[in-house]
Structures are given as structure tokens and as C-alpha cells.
Structure 1
């Protein structure tokens, strides 16, 4: 593979526009750019989660399941940047569903709402989950303006589900009790 970036700054975005892979120039607040930014933020936070999980041998299964997601999020970003480009496929969505099913089988049913905490890694998994939901909302907004092709919307939805289950799975592996939500006392 050749060099992809010969120069980091181009000065072409100094007036509030950026270029898409299809040659269009759009505002940096365009729904497509917003969606790309949310996916990028999620990918960065997922990297932080993976770095922490890699330090705990009990969480190798989490790393194995989530590490490919960083690559697929990069693919999704490519699809958003180049509207005619399709990188994701249904097999990626199915892989996430298989992991969710496998982990849920071990975890058992959720009997109450849980709070994002208990350990740094559990909380970070929930940060990633909430960012996946935000990225999904941005992609859905873009889809309303410019319909999206492929499985990107399904992928980001399933990834948010996986990250929720991952938080529970991390808690189980770390031996940390989930923090159950307690309703406010009624007056």
C-alpha cells in the first residue's frame, strides 16, 4: 500500500468546509461530517477500552471480540466519507450478534436497570455504548437527508448492544457486582 497522506494539513478546510471522497465539498457541520465525527469519537474511545482490557488477562475474550470493531468502524467512516463505497457486510452484523448471544448465555437475564460503573473498564464500556448510540442517531439523521446504503446502520445499532453486554461481561470477569439502579423515593 502506498502513502495515503503526504501532507497532514492542506488549508482547504480553513473556511469551514471539508472534502468528501466523491469530490464534494460540504460544511463541517453537514450531517455526513457529523456522523463521521461521531463514529471517529466512538472508535477513539473504543481504543481506550481495548487498551485497558488488554492489561487484564481475564478480558482477552473482550479484546478478541471488540478489536475487529475498530477496523469496521474505520470502514463505516469510509462509507460515510465516500457515499458510493461499501465496505461492511451482513456477516459483520451476524458476528456481533453471535458474541452478544454467547455472552448473554453466560450472564443470564437482566433483572434491573444497571448504572455505568463498578470499575473503570465497565464505565468505559458504557461510555462506548453511549457514543455508539450517539453515532447511530447521527447516522440516522444523515439517512433522513441522504439515504445510506448497506448495513452500516444495523452494524452501529448492534455494536451499541454488544457494548452494553460487554460492560456486563467485564463486570462478571472482574468479579464486580453490577450497580443496580434504585428509583428515587416517592414523596
Structure 2
């Protein structure tokens, strides 16, 4: 196997968990059913469409929501970049007859990655939540009193549930990638026997 093909496989494998996570985030995080309360809907509209917030959020809460908006925009751009790279790499690997191998190993790697994430999720979600906020909001404006409107609108249970759904769907995509590689390999083997 040529060095460039090996590099393409490795990059494809390493990108897969990120792609599955971002894809799951795109399809899960903004479903209307999670934002049925008026304040939640208002925040969602603000985050997605930059509408005015009429609820009585404090200036610090609005500042944090603006930072969340920036992180969401970055996440969208990252998703498009990772998706485009995965498609390009997929085409390259397909042409070199290495896509099945890459899908197989990306499925294994992604399942392992999400198994580790689930360990943290079940045994230390608050740790994951804190690390996430320290990375994306290093200025520290993400800590609010329990009685603040933002925390009342989006309690810890909201993020625990939504994160579980996102991680679960991403893990399911990993399993699908693995089974797709098995299915395509069997199909290829049967075709070669004819």
C-alpha cells in the first residue's frame, strides 16, 4: 500500500468519530420538541437567527448566549469542512479500492471512541460538561447561580439528556459504518465468485 493511501485511510479513520458526532449534533440539537417552553424557543431563535431576546435574561446571560452563538457557528463550519474532507477521502479511497477497509477501521475506532465517551457520560457527566465549557468558554462566563433564568430555562438535565441523544446517535452511526463495511465486503465477495 502506498504511503499516500495509508495517510488517506488514517485521516478518514480519525475524522470519522468527529463526523459522526457533528452529524448527530446537526440532526439532534435543534429539534423543536426540545424547545417547547417559550424561553427555550426564544433562545433557540436567538442562537439560530439572531433574533432579539425579550425574556429577562441578565447581561451576563446574554453575553454567554452570544458566545454560544459563536461556538455554534464554528461548529457548523467545522461540520461542513469535516464532511467535505470525508467525502473527498471517501472518493479517493474508493478509487484505490480501499474504502471498505477504511469504513471497517473507522467503525471500530469510532465505536471505541464513543465507548470511552459513554464511560465519562455515565460516570462523570459533570466533568465532561465542565471540560467542554472550559475549552469553548475560557473567559469563564458560563457559571450562573441555580436561580438564574438561564439555568432555570436550561437545567443540567436538559444538557444531560441532549448530550446522551447526540452521543447515542453518533455511536449508532459508528455501528452502521462497521456493518456497512461488512455488507459491502460480503456483496463484493459474492460478486467476485460469479
* Pairwise same-fold verdict (TM > 0.5): no
Structure 1 or 2: more helix by fraction: 2
Higher relative contact order (CA 8 A, sep 6+): 2
- TM-score computed with the length of structure 1 as normaliser: 0.29
TM-score (normalised: structure 2): 0.29
More strand by share: 1
